[in-house]
């Protein structure tokens, strides 16, 4: 993953590309998900828990006539669960649609590939596997999330390993 990050970095120096990221707040960190992967944002949802499901599953929500499995970002990062309703990003990945449970969804930021850095080496292994590098904003970092890495099937496979 670092290799690909470097590659895009180098290319970025030649001609910077702009990426639109939906910012997401969770705890103290600002995350960003490329808007091209977001199908819809569902506000203040209360997912139905699924007994015996893998821990990262945040529950089920009803989404446009279908039942959507959600992934709890808090749980993935080892944070305590949040009381009350949470926002859901409906994401599209190779394995189908799923929901990402986050504390709250912020505005859409336009970031430049010039400001991209891959994951730092001192990041713990679990986070390194989840994050797709970071963008340097003027006053803080925007941690990039890649929907493919958050896909429940992939998470479940990783958990088994």
Contact residues toward other proteins (CB under 8 A) are 48-54, 57, 60-62, 64-69, 95-96, 98, 152-153, 155-156
When the beta carbons of 147 and 152 are compared against other proteins, the nearer one is: 152
Between 53 and 79, name the residue whose CB sits nearer to other proteins. Answer: 53
C-alpha 78/C-alpha 55 separation (Å) is 10
Is residue 107 classed exposed, middle or buried when 0-12, 13-18 and 19+ CB atoms within 10 A define those classes? Answer: exposed
Smallest gap, in angstroms, from Cβ of residue 26 to other proteins?
Answer: 21
Shortest distance, position 92 Cβ to other proteins, whole Å: 13
Question: Strand, helix or coil at 29?
Answer: strand
18: Cβ–Cβ under 8 A, 6 or more apart, which residues? 110, 111, 112, 113
Least distance in Å: CB of 91 to other proteins? 13
- Reported residue count of the chain is 161
- Cβ-based nearer residue to other proteins, 47 or 133: 47
């Amino acid at each position: 993953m670092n290799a690909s990050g470097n590659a895009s970095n180098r290319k970025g120096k030649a001609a910077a590309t702009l990426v639109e990221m939906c910012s997401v707040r969770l705890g103290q960190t600002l995350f960003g998900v490329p808007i091209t992967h977001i199908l819809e944002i569902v506000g203040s949802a209360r997912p139905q828990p699924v007994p015996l499901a893998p821990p990262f599953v945040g529950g089920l929500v009803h989404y446009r006539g279908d039942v959507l499995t959600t992934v709890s970002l808090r749980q993935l990062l080892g944070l305590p669960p949040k009381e009350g309703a949470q926002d859901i990003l409906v994401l599209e990945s190779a394995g189908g649609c799923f929901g990402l449970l986050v504390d709250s969804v912020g505005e859409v930021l336009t970031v430049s590939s010039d400001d991209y850095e891959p994951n730092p080496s001192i990041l713990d292994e679990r986070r390194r596997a989840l994050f797709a590098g970071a963008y340097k904003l003027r006053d803080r970092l925007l941690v990039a999330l890649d929907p493919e890495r958050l896909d429940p099937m992939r998470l479940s496979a990783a958990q088994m390993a």
